[in-house]
Amino acid sequence: MSESAAPESQAYHFGIVPPGTSPNVGWGKRPELLPEAGLDTRCVHAGAQPDPAYGSVVPPIYQTTNFAFFDLGTSSGFDYTRSGNPTRARLEEAIANLEGGSGATCTSTGMSAVLLALNLLEHGSHVLVTEDCYGGTFRALEHARNTYGLQVEYLDLADLEAVKAAWKPNTRLVWIESPSNPLLRLTDIAAVAALARERGAFSLVDNTFLSPILQRPFELGVDLVLHSATKYLNGHSDVVSGAVVAAPDRKDLAQRLPYLNNLLGISQSPHDCFLVLRGLKTLTLRMAAHQANASELASRLEAHPAVARVNYPGLPSHPQHELAKRQQKGFGGMISFELKDPTKVPSVLRGLRWFTLAESLGGVESLVAHPATMTHASMTPEARRRAGISDNLIRLSIGIESLEDLWADLKHQLD
Ligand SMILES: *Cc1c(COP(=O)(O)O)cnc(C)c1O
């Protein structure tokens, strides 16, 4: 056998399809049709082309650390799973497609997505951040301040004058959480993104609470979108996952994201990617169900005499209801509220039947949480007070159960 024939026969032996000779004609065709397709169609089909090896309709889990080279210098495009994996590539394609971005990278958790995004900053940068941001994001930013000298400033980003006043020559990033957690406060995303661009910084929206179905940050001019895919994107409370997505006109960032993911070693496992891909298929259905329940429950809670205040952007009483209608495609499935009698908070938290007392959110099942002692315990009491997170605030992640069951449960505790 001649030497030149060896790689081919070896490849045949290992069952590797030579590059460019994939027998599957469907592969690579449907993604081109996707941009014009509706979001429901894209949830089902983005990243879901039949597998080129055997045509499996559901993406296989490539549970492997490494990939055989076809020949010296010729690989399938994948060599090592930390750097790249076909199952993860599908999820990245799907999330980038749903957000309308130029590229995405998927990380082991939402927090590792936060870490990755912060690693885009050069030394000596200054960051402006939503004041009542996710507690873990606050902790990561404080760690970066103490360890790497990152300059961080928390403020109400809805106050554009305050944002301008806080701006420094080294401000490189505006970190927007809208709606924020747990107070559901909004930022005028288009206004802040425009300011950031004008001044040579980039803007990021943590879109965890609304998902690309209910909020489309790239259409508002931001540079990056971040997700804790643990929440609505996966939707079934069985995997932790994160993603960072680059805007359609930020291909430069899209290239740096996978580079940093590989460098930091925080990429998502193939099995977890498979689960999130499965979750994505029902994203539009789930978001509609979460939102229908939440809108109705928010109104009923607001009308209940035991309740002092309800935070839900869909309520006309929400101070930024008009902004919510303008910049969001919906109001989401998260509600927080305060009781008139703070001594009743523990019994409500303990007594609910369909709402599990648990952290996290965005799953099909309803959850109740006490931000001051749970999700936001990593904030200092002073930072919580400044952000307006009181000890009698209760947060609900509204699931997709029957509305009347959820209401009967809440009403029973409030009565
Ligand atoms: C949960 C969450 C995160 C962190 O994500 P994990 O998957 O828990 O690591 C970040 N931002 C927001 C808004 C979140 O709700």
Q: What is the pLDDT of residues 186-231, one digit of tens each?
A: 999 999 999 999 999 999 999 999 999 999 999 999 999 999 999 9
Ligand 1 atom closest to the Cα of residue 209 is 13
Closest CA to 395 of 360, 353, 351: 360
Q: Can you tell me whether residue 385 is helix, strand or coil?
A: helix
**351 Cβ neighbours under 8 A, 6+ residues apart:** 412, 413
Identify the pLDDT of residue 54.
81
Q: Is 374 in the pocket of ligand 1 (CB under 6 A)?
A: no
Ligand 1 atom closest to the Cα of residue 133 is 13
Ligand 1 atom closest to the Cα of residue 177 is 13
Q: Is 230 in the pocket of ligand 1 (CB under 6 A)?
A: yes
Question: Residue 267 Cα, ligand 1 centroid: separation in angstroms?
Answer: 16
Q: Is 175 in the pocket of ligand 1 (CB under 6 A)?
A: no
Q: Distance (Å, rounded) from C-alpha 205 to C-alpha 214?
A: 13
Q: Is 136 in the pocket of ligand 1 (CB under 6 A)?
A: yes
Q: Is 70 in the pocket of ligand 1 (CB under 6 A)?
A: no
β-partners of residue 203 are 174
Question: Residue 79 Cα, ligand 1 centroid: separation in angstroms?
Answer: 30
Report yes or no: 125 and 172 within 8 Å, Cβ to Cβ: yes
Give the predicted TM-score (pTM) of the model.
0.92
Q: Distance (Å, rounded) from C-alpha 354 to C-alpha 364?
A: 12
What is the b/e burial string over 194-228, where b = at least 16 CB atoms within 10 angstroms of the residue's CB? Answer: ebbeeeebbbbbbbbbbbbbbbbbbebbbbbbbbb
Pocket test for ligand 1, best of 185, 230, 275 (most atoms within 8 A of CB): 230
Measuring from atom 6 of ligand 1, which residue has the nearest CA? 110
Ligand 1 atom closest to the Cα of residue 241 is 7
- Catalogue the active-site residues: 82, 134, 206, 231
Identify the pLDDT of residue 37.
87
Q: Is 110 in the pocket of ligand 1 (CB under 6 A)?
A: yes
Identify the pLDDT of residue 12.
36
β-partners of residue 171 are 126
Question: Residue 78 Cα, ligand 1 centroid: separation in angstroms?
Answer: 29
Q: Is 178 in the pocket of ligand 1 (CB under 6 A)?
A: no
What is the b/e burial string over 11-22, where b = at least 16 CB atoms within 10 angstroms of the residue's CB? Answer: beeeebbeeeee
Identify the pLDDT of residue 132.
84
Identify the pLDDT of residue 34.
65
Q: Six-digit token pair at 407? A: 């209401």
Q: Is 291 in the pocket of ligand 1 (CB under 6 A)?
A: no
| CA distances (Å), origin 218, targets 33, 102, 190, 224, 301 | 20, 10, 9, 8, 33
Q: Can you tell me whether residue 292 is helix, strand or coil?
A: helix
Q: Is 206 in the pocket of ligand 1 (CB under 6 A)?
A: yes
What is the β-pairing status of strands 393-397 and 367-369?
A: antiparallel
Pocket test for ligand 1, best of 109, 180, 207, 228 (most atoms within 8 A of CB): 228
Q: Which residues of the chain have pLDDT under 50?
A: 1-19, 21-29
Report yes or no: 274 and 61 within 8 Å, Cβ to Cβ: yes
What is the b/e burial string over 136-165, where b = at least 16 CB atoms within 10 angstroms of the residue's CB? Answer: bbbebbbebeeeeebebbbebbbeeeebee
Question: Residue 114 Cα, ligand 1 centroid: separation in angstroms?
Answer: 9
Among the residues of 119-201, which ranges form H helices? Answer: 135-148, 160-166, 189-198
Structural domains in the chain, CATH included, are 100-278 (3.40.640.10), 283-414 (3.90.1150.10)
